[in-house]
Structures are given as structure tokens and as C-alpha cells.
Structure 1
């Protein structure tokens, strides 16, 4: 039987574009629409397959569960998820898990009870078995859960770029400050890349794990206290620091400056994310690794919608990894 993917391939467009043509949602150029309609006609494709899959879902709402929507990175990702979903006729429901097991479970139960079309999981505090038992489409961000499709940035490359940059800038003793390594998160690969790159270049290094703060749950005072207690006593041992995100890098900069450590002369700092908060900062202009939030949000939304519309086995959906790049600033 001809599928929507067959139409997309023959027309030379994405599955999402074919869906827009069929459902008359979002802007589609005349030439693109004609290509899709011609492909459908040549393949004798019957679009009521999509109508049936949407009818089975009972709703065109998708859930998005994030650790904290106030975090600059997640707020941007949510924005682009919503834009793409809306263009394809879907509405989004945003849920803040705050890295709380019971809170996340209750949100999933609520969404399931309301026959949600699918969920984008960015929180992910539950055990793998819980996600595997759900009977609707799921896409995860930055976490590998069995055969559930995931989307993430190239965290390993980001770690390599950050570490190499510090070494190229003359650093001889490096520190990596990370979030907790308590789950199989793709972001953990930043730390793996850091340690491997240090070993390859005979650079002494240390990793300090912030076990109390999961990715995305941040308060300035808490981070400052963490830096003061866990990093401050060792700071003179290092001349370069790779932080797992930009907010942590900024707080480290603030603490170091307040304690007479000159940035970048005595200590060089690299962050990770390059979200809106970082782009607005003038002092300091962080050196950081850029994650493209627009691409991440778009791919998360598109991947989930493909699963919903096609109503196919998740094994046919490939995992997506978007590229990262080094953004040079004044902290190195």
C-alpha cells in the first residue's frame, strides 16, 4: 500500500510538507503543492489514511514535558516546537516536570487520559519501562530510552570543540563542571569528550558533578553557593573550565570576578547552549558551544508529527542529531 512517505519521496519533499498539502495547513508554494498533488495522483495515494490515524488519536494536541520552561534553552525549544506544530494543525500543551518523578508521571497520566496525539519528552525522570508501556507516539530529547526515537545535538562534538579550544588557548590544567550523570542522557557525552580529549593531549583534568541540579532546574543563588563550596577551593588548580551550560558558566564568571580571579587572563571559561540569554549578554560575551534551538524544536515536532500521521512502528523513524559549533567570546 502506498504511504505518505512514498508520496514525499516521489515529490522530493518532506512528509510534513505532504501533510500540509493534504490538510491545507500552513503556507505551501504553488510549485510545491503541484509536485505533491501530481505524486499523489501518479501513486494513486488515498489521503484518508491520515484522516483515520488522526481520528484514532481523537485529538490534534501534543504534550511537551520539560524540566523548566523558564530556562532560556527550553523556552526557545518550546517556541520552535509550537511554531512547527501549529503550521501542521497541532496545538501544544506545555508541562513543567521540575525534575520531579511524581509530577512527571501525573502529567503523562493526564495527557494519556485526554487521548493526546503524542508527547515530546524533555523531562524524563521515570524508569525506561514506564515510557515503553505507553501506547501513543513519543519522541525524547537528549535521552536514549529503548527504541523510542530521540533528538539531540552532537554533544560529543561539542565537548571536543570546547576542550580543544581551551587547549589551543594555552590552558594546561582543565576542569569540567557538569550536571548529574544519573541518567543515560546524551548530554553526558560532553563530559566523556572532555576527559578523552584531555587524555589525548596529556592535559591534567578534573570533573566536578553538580548532583543537586538536574539539567534545566536552576536558581542563581543555588548555583553560586555550589560554585563557592564545590569549585572555589580548587579553582587555583586550573586555568580553563568547560561548563555544561551557559548559566553555570555565567555564575562561575560572576563568582571568579567577585573573588579576584581575572577572566580570561587567569581562568578561561567555555559554556554550552548559546540561547537567548547568552546572546543578550554583553559582559561577559561567553565563549560557548551553540545548540541550534530552532532546529532542535523543529525536528522534535516534525518527528513526532510524522509518527502521529503515519501511525507506524517507531523502528522506522531514525534518531536525529543536529550539529553544534564553537562561538568565540571574551571569556577565553
Structure 2
């Protein structure tokens, strides 16, 4: 494998000159540049990115901790983050943690060894692991440390919005299918939904799912719900789980929205593909992903950033799984 020593010998220049040219860290004459580039092309040489990062202290790599790449919402926000990072001159190092604390901790060590310049942690399950890592971090949804800024949708008001919509559509016997307790976002959605119900003196039954995107596990959770057909409205903590709920109801001959109205959360692309199409609460994915990258790059550049929670407004997207019904 060719190296800078061989390039320097063939080009008739010093190793330090080749290093300055490759890393753009100092003056190199035009004549030397042409000779070096000619030998780089002849040898089909590719610089060692890790060695360059150590030398220049700039890897131009951002680590992205993603909890579940199969979940359409996280799939979409990853695409947004990747595109904006590329636009700003950075490459992504993708780590699929599967909401597993141990796996996330191992990836954190890998990212440190690769000298990434910053980390965006989506729904992190770790806290103390991020102490003293000397790498800028931005969190999405879950709190990590007081020193780390957070980007999130306004999940609490999104939950209130979901209740108000079902109530306006005539639902009075309501079920909320909530996400795992480790997910701060779905806990806030649940709190907002229940606070809205309390104001209207409506009792809401709650069932907690153990996962957000393992279909077999979701179906097992649903099988444990007694008399699900007695409900007239269901709020599901995210769209992919709502799709599983719809499938479960259809297999039992329950007509949506005539018998049960359903609302999800995220506004991932799957909602429009379902039949009937899914009413949901929109998370502004483009704004969320772009803001996370912008904050991280500011931290990388040692610019001033307010260390706080950046909440982005949610929005109701009404489709076919909710429809007006007259109360009897």
C-alpha cells in the first residue's frame, strides 16, 4: 500500500512537504504541488483519514447515535441530518444503538477512537458515559447531562393536541397506548394527553408497550388488552405502533374510524400509506435535524451556544382514521 514516504521519494521532495500538501497545513510551491499530485494519482493513493485527524485535529466526522434505524421516523431524521452535515462539510459515522445502553457505550468508545468532532445522540440511554469525553454533544429527546443541549418536539403539547382532537371528534371511552418509560418523549406525550383528559373529566385507560418497533412484541402487547373493541378512540405513542394497532383491529373486523378512531404521533411517511390514512401529530423532522447539526457545529467551532432545551412546535395532521361522529 503506497504511503507518503514513497510519494515523497518519487516526487523528489521531503516527507514534510508531502504532509503539508495533503493536510493543507503550510506552504508548498506550485512546482512541488504538481509533482506530488502526479505521484498521488499514479499510485492511486488515498490519505489515512484517522492519521490526518490526529495530525490536523479535524476529522470532519460527526457521530450519530440512532436508536432504531428501522423506525421510519428515525430513518427520516437521519437522512435530514446526513444531508445537512454533508452540506456543511461533514461526514456521518452512523451507530445503531437499538436503545441498548451497553451498545451505545461501546459505540461511544469507538467514536472517541476515530476522533469524531462531535456527536448527535438520538434518544440516548446513557448519562455518566458522556462525562469528560471532551467531544461536543447534542442530544435529541432524552436528557443526558446538564451541560448538553437538547433538541426535541414539544411532546407535551402534542399529547394535549391528540386528546383534544379525539374529544372534539366525539370520543369518550379512550385508550392511550404509551411507549416505554425510558423514552422521555413518549412520557411527555402521555402526560399532555392525560392532563387534557383530566380537564374534561374523561378517564383514560393506559397500556404500556415494551418497544417502539418490534412488530411481534407490539402484537403480544395488544393481545393482552381486554375488550379493545369497547373503546371509541385510541391515541398511540408513534405512527409505526399505530400501524400495528390498525392491523390488529382490522383482523378483528373493527372498522376504522366508524367504530374506533385512531391518532398516532410523528407524521412519518408510513401514515399516508396506510388505509385508512393515519391522523397524527407532526414532528417537524427537517427543522429538528437541521437544528441539531447547527448547534453541534457551533459547539465544534467553540461558538457560544445556550445550553438549554430547544422545543419545536408540533402540529395536528388530520387524515382518515378520525372523522366527526354525532354523540348519541
* TM-score of the superposed pair, with normalisation by structure 1: 0.77
Aligned-residue offset at 1:139: 0.5
| 1:91 paired residue number | 91
* TM-score of the superposed pair, with normalisation by structure 2: 0.77
| 1:125 paired residue number | 125
The structure 1 residue matched to 2:312, chosen from 312, 322, 325, is 322
The structure 2 residue matched to 1:305, chosen from 297, 311, 321, is 297
| 1:224 paired residue number | 219
For 1:200 and 1:296, the matched residues in 2 are separated by 30
For 1:174 and 1:55, the matched residues in 2 are separated by 60
Aligned-residue offset at 1:318: 4.0
| 1:100 paired residue number | 100
Contact 1:57–1:116 under 8 Å retained in 2: no
Structure index of larger Rg: 2
Aligned-residue offset at 1:136: 0.9
Contact 2:150–2:310 under 8 Å retained in 1: yes
Deviations 1:57-116 (A, max 9, x none): 431100001111121111110111111111111111111011222211110000011211
Aligned-residue offset at 1:161: 0.8
Deviations 1:124-164 (A, max 9, x none): 122x2222332210011101223210000010111011100
Change in Cα spacing, 1:55 to 1:121, as seen in structure 2 (3 Å) is farther
For 1:143 and 1:326, the matched residues in 2 are separated by 23
Name stretches of at least 5 consecutive residues in structure 1 with no aligned partner. Answer: 1-53
For 2:132 and 2:262, the matched residues in 1 are separated by 43
| 1:244 paired residue number | 237
The structure 2 residue matched to 1:235, chosen from 228, 231, 242, is 228
For 1:96 and 1:123, the matched residues in 2 are separated by 11
| 1:28 paired residue number | none
Contact 1:198–1:204 under 8 Å retained in 2: yes
The structure 2 residue matched to 1:258, chosen from 240, 251, 254, is 251
| 1:196 paired residue number | 195
| 1:47 paired residue number | none
For 2:55 and 2:78, the matched residues in 1 are separated by 26
The structure 2 residue matched to 1:276, chosen from 269, 282, 296, is 269
Give the 3-state SS of the residue equivalent to 1:63 in structure 2: strand
Change in Cα spacing, 1:136 to 1:55, as seen in structure 2 (3 Å) is farther
Give the 3-state SS of the residue equivalent to 2:95 in structure 1: strand
Contact 1:97–1:123 under 8 Å retained in 2: no
Give the 3-state SS of the residue equivalent to 1:159 in structure 2: helix
Alignment of 1:124-143 (within 5 A): 124-126=124-126, 128-143=127-142
What is the root-mean-square deviation in Å for CA atoms of aligned residues? 2.0
Please identify runs of 4+ aligned residues in structure 1 that moved more than 4 A: 54-57
Change in Cα spacing, 1:133 to 1:331, as seen in structure 2 (3 Å) is same
For 2:249 and 2:269, the matched residues in 1 are separated by 23
Aligned-residue offset at 1:255: 0.9
Name stretches of at least 5 consecutive residues in structure 2 with no aligned partner. Answer: 1-53, 323-328
Aligned-residue offset at 1:270: 0.3
